Amino acid sequence: MQKDSIKNIQNQIFNILKKNRSFRSKDFKYNNNIVEDSGLDSFEIMSFIIEIESFYSISFNPEDLLHEEMHSIEGLAKYIKSN
């Protein structure tokens, strides 16, 4: 995972995100808010977060999820890269 560039991680996150049927992919940018703008329902958000944890073998600190920057693909990628 260390070898993955931020761009690669962002693309991987986007690929996981877009598997959701309710994902509104049109015009969705990597700096958009996933919670507010992706169209995902609560279960999908929860499932998405857990899938990210499984995919990268990491564990989110629940407090971290409150930070606004964690709600975008860019922010998540940075967090994953630094962990």
Partner 1 sequence: MALIYKKLLEVVKKYPNKIAIIQDDKKLKYSELLKIINYQINQLAAQIPKQKKTIAILTNDFFTTLINVFALSYLNRTIIPINKGFSRSQIQNLLVKMRVDFIITNTNFRFKSTPKIKCSFNLNHNYKQIQNQNLTIAKADNFKNITKFLITLTSGSTGNPKAIIFSEKTKINRFQQAVKLFTISHNDVILNASPFSHSLGQRLTFLPLLSGATLVLLDKFNAKNWFDQVHLHKVTFTIPVSTHLHVLAEKLTQLNSGSLRLIISSSSSINHTTKMRLINNKFFVFGEMYGASEIGTATLIIYKKDTAEFKSVGQPCPNVKVKIKKNKKSDYAEIGEIYIKSQYAAEGYLVNNKILKISDKYGFFHTGDCGFTDENKFLYFSGRLKDVLIVGGINVFPSDIEAVLAKNKKIIQICVIGIFDDVFGDLPIAIIKSDHDRVKVESELRNLAYSKLASFQRPFKYFFVDQFPCLSSGKIDKNQLQKMFANSLPKLGDKLLSARDSIDSN
For partner 1, the binding residues (CB under 8 A) are: 19-22, 35-36, 40-47, 49-51, 53-54, 59-60, 62-63, 65-66, 71
**Three-class secondary structure of residue 4 per DSSP:** coil
Give the nearer residue to partner 1 in terms of CB position, either 2 or 54.
54
Give the nearer residue to partner 1 in terms of CB position, either 71 or 80.
71
d(CA 50, CA 44): 10
CB of 14 to partner 1, least distance (A): 14
CA angle 51, 45, 33 (to 5 degrees): 115
